[in-house]
Structure 1
Amino acid sequence: MSRLFPAFLFLSIILQAATAPAISSIREMVIGPGKSGSEPATVYPLSLPSAPRPTKTETWKIGVYLPVAGAYREIGQRLRRGLRLALKSEAEIQPEMWRLLIVDSTAVEPARALVLFRKNQVVLVLGPLQSRLADASVNQAIALNLPIMLWAPRPELCARNRLIFQHFLSAANQGRALAELLRQGEEKKIALLYPENDFGRDFRASLIANLGPEQTHSLVRESFYDPHSVDFSSAIKLLQTLESQSAFPQSFFNHTVQLRPDYPFSALVIADFYPRLRLLAPQLRFFGLEQCRIYGIIGGHPPRRAGENGKALEGTVFLDFCGNLTPAPPRSQNYRDLYQTHYGETASIYDLYAYDSILILQQARQNLNQGKACDLPQALLSLPVMELAGGQTQISADGEFSKKLCPAVFQFSKPPPKNRIDFLGAPQD
């Protein structure tokens, strides 16, 4: 029997936070799922009025489409904590002027969730986090004329409509940042090694698109590997010159003699995180790449100094996220301390992005109140570069909010910063 969700059926949640009782005063409600029945689906006309624009004294209802149950329950809990912490802790925010209406993305399909939000007159939807729900959510948001800010790492969806925004670390964001770093450096001939999955392909496309003119910086070799593999020999061999490929051993695991093949590049970009690079490191050495400058990405996986494989990455240039390899900016450190104080555990990338989402909306709200924009999408698109908990944040013309990622050289002997941002494990779609 199908589940139907009456528009005005609310399941109230009393928020209890033993370590931070003040946070429980934030108004948060879960809407749907409701009782089974025969209520027909709502059919909207092709042309709907825009989402409501509250006056200065009206409460802003924010729809939040996140996992409440299931495998991603902890991530959903982190997102909610970040939202509530921002509403209660930021001096310029009046928590009584905000209301969070939550729909469980593990139980309610995007089409129904967006209808629920529209019926309850939210001004914008935050979420979903899962990439597989992003397309349907965007399509329905456009149909309902409802602004949405995706947490799914799908910035390309912003180009579909001025109502669509995206705010989460993505492959495109990291590929673009690494291309900018390479353009500023001395390496002119570059190779790319990437996983054969959506992340790897998106990273590759972004890197190539942003690398610049071929006469100054050129991608001379590229190869991909199975993201579930532990033997990367065949992928690494494809980076060699043709002469070296025919003369070199076929597998890292079947030979112990180290030869010196030819590589027509001076920099190797690996579109993967530290845990994978630790597996790759000894194989790169075996295939004669220890003298090549390695570039990697951190995302939410801060390098750790455990094991000799980690030592082999000495000198690798990582794109640092939010001070996970270097000292954190003051506002980022303040956020980590605040989260630790309220919840007794390390902050994560999820609650941090949720926290910053509220700060972004607060800035847009101020723009509207001051008459600097005619509606919420325009208010968001006109925001300046902001210093937020996740670092310097700016919006593109399409609606992608991206964080500034800074290069940092990995030093095995140097203790990493304390109280870093945790990743918890990425959603697998």
Structure 2
Amino acid sequence: MRTHHVLIGLVTLVIAMAVVSFTAERKDAAASPFTVGFVLPVTGDFGVYGEAARNAGLLAVEELRQQGMSITAIVEDDRLDSKLAVSAAKKLLEVDKVDALVSFSSGETLAVCPLTRAAGVILLTEASSPEVSKCGGYTFRNFPSDVNQGRVLADRARVGGYEKVFVAYLDNDYGAGLKQEFERNFTGEAMVEAFAVQQRDFRTLVAKIKQYAPDLVVLISYPTEGSQLLTQMDQLGLRAPIIGSESTKDDSIIPLLPKGVAERFAAVAVADYTGIEAARFRESYEARFGKKPAVFADYVYDNVMLLGAAIKRCPSAEGRPACLATQIRGTTFVGATGKITFDAQGDVQAKPYDLFRITGNTFVVAK
């Protein structure tokens, strides 16, 4: 009987110790808050997209808080300027001591990724430049590399029977990277010319396009610059068909285009995801902010929700960056943009692309 009493006492003690240990771990997890920093173009010419990106990120943070997570967001504005992005990232990393960083565009991501790599901090982005694959460290992007889009643009030109192409591209990391991938894959004749971010007068560029007399114009641009270039092409009598990069597939560009241009214009972009997660995001965004999300906002939302899923598996602050990287790299996550899985370089696995044309006041898949 004494033996039984001793055994029972030992078992009770072990269970009690386990409960205490488990409770301590739970308290430690609850006491390990998480801070995510955002480096986004909230103002400036790209502000309409940066604002939507910020809103989407904050919406995700709010939803994670509702799930009981202790997470805080700090937003810094880079105005689509690499120097400002570096300054913002340094402040977030060195002063605010953020646990993860979310960035938006290619040039700014490439500027800050050496900082996050040196700090051992997770960087989540939707930047598409092929150079992002070289960031290493704890960098992950949920938008396909322009290696894929460049190939698709070249394939579309080939399938359309176009043999003489003029490529007008933004003079930044995004534009240069995509232009390079198009040239690498296109087998016909091509002339290329860069234009500046925020450029307004395109008469010289349009004259060069007209003189070259291409079968097709490939436009690698943001909506603001793209709409002005296309309008000036129409004003100067240039009637060539146009295929735009994924950044031009934004409904905001449609009312800015002359009717004739809209009929000749198409855009290559990642195929729209139509799952329930996409619908839920749009509904939540519109309910929270009273308007539709701008292009690419859903990728920021997914990056934060993906991060939240990883945080749940890495509750302790000790060793968390490595734990988060392991969880993110090994995840299969389905969000507003569809299925997300990463390769060894932190790039999202390839997604399908479609050709979109303007119908009414929106873009639809071309038949």
Alignment correspondent of 2:121: 146
2:192 to 210, 217, 223: 223
Normalised to the residue count of structure 1, the TM-score between the two structures is 0.58
Alignment correspondent of 1:338: 284
The 1-side partners of 2:141 and 2:323 are apart by 18
Alignment correspondent of 2:94: 115
2:168 to 194, 206, 212: 194
For residues 178 and 109 of structure 1, do their structure 2 counterparts lie closer, same or farther at Cα, with a shift above 3 Å needed? Answer: same
Alignment correspondent of 2:242: 294
Counterparts in 2 of 1:94-243, with a 5 A limit? Answer: 95-102=67-74, 104-105=76-77, 109-118=88-97, 122=99, 124-127=100-103, 129=104, 133-150=108-125, 154=129, 156-167=131-142, 174-179=149-154, 181-182=156-157, 185=159, 187=161, 189=163, 191-195=165-169, 197-198=171-172, 199-209=174-184, 211=185, 218-224=187-193, 226-227=195-196, 228=199, 229-231=201-203, 232-237=205-210, 239-240=212-213
**How far off its partner does 1:202 sit?**
2.0
The 2-side partners of 1:352 and 1:283 are apart by 35
* Cα distance per residue 1:14-57 (max 9 Å; x no partner): xxxxxxxxxxxxxxxxxxxxxxxxxxxxxxxxxxxxxxxx9876
The 2-side partners of 1:379 and 1:83 are apart by 20
Normalised to the residue count of structure 2, the TM-score between the two structures is 0.66
**Does the 8 A contact of 1:298 with 1:321 survive in 2?**
yes
The 2-side partners of 1:322 and 1:276 are apart by 26
For residues 173 and 392 of structure 1, do their structure 2 counterparts lie closer, same or farther at Cα, with a shift above 3 Å needed? Answer: farther
**Does the 8 A contact of 1:304 with 1:310 survive in 2?**
no
Alignment correspondent of 1:64: 37
The 1-side partners of 2:160 and 2:105 are apart by 38
* Cα distance per residue 1:313-356 (max 9 Å; x no partner): 32533224675xxx965533332222111221222236423211
RMSD of aligned residue pairs (Cα, Å): 4.3
**How far off its partner does 1:237 sit?**
4.2
**How far off its partner does 1:395 sit?**
3.5
Letter of the 2:346 counterpart: G
**How far off its partner does 1:161 sit?**
1.8
**Does the 8 A contact of 2:246 with 2:268 survive in 1?**
yes
Unpaired runs of 5+ residues, structure 1, are: 1-53, 212-216, 241-262, 419-429
**Does the 8 A contact of 1:393 with 1:403 survive in 2?**
no
The 2-side partners of 1:380 and 1:57 are apart by 21
The 2-side partners of 1:403 and 1:117 are apart by 35
Moved more, 339-348 or 131-140: 131-140
The 2-side partners of 1:330 and 1:237 are apart by 46
**How many residues matched?**
315
**How far off its partner does 1:99 sit?**
0.8
DSSP-derived class of the 2:263 partner: coil
1:309 to 255, 258, 261: 258
The 1-side partners of 2:242 and 2:162 are apart by 14
Letter of the 2:209 counterpart: I
For residues 98 and 143 of structure 1, do their structure 2 counterparts lie closer, same or farther at Cα, with a shift above 3 Å needed? Answer: same
The 2-side partners of 1:410 and 1:68 are apart by 27
DSSP-derived class of the 1:125 partner: strand
**Does the 8 A contact of 1:223 with 1:235 survive in 2?**
no
**Does the 8 A contact of 1:223 with 1:238 survive in 2?**
no
DSSP-derived class of the 1:313 partner: helix
| Greater helix share, structure number | 2
DSSP-derived class of the 1:161 partner: coil
The 1-side partners of 2:114 and 2:90 are apart by 8
DSSP-derived class of the 1:139 partner: helix
Alignment correspondent of 2:14: none
Question: Highest relative contact order (Cα 8 Å, sep 6+), 1 or 2?
Answer: 2
Counterparts in 2 of 1:398-417, with a 5 A limit? Answer: 398-401=345-348, 404-411=352-359, 414-416=360-362
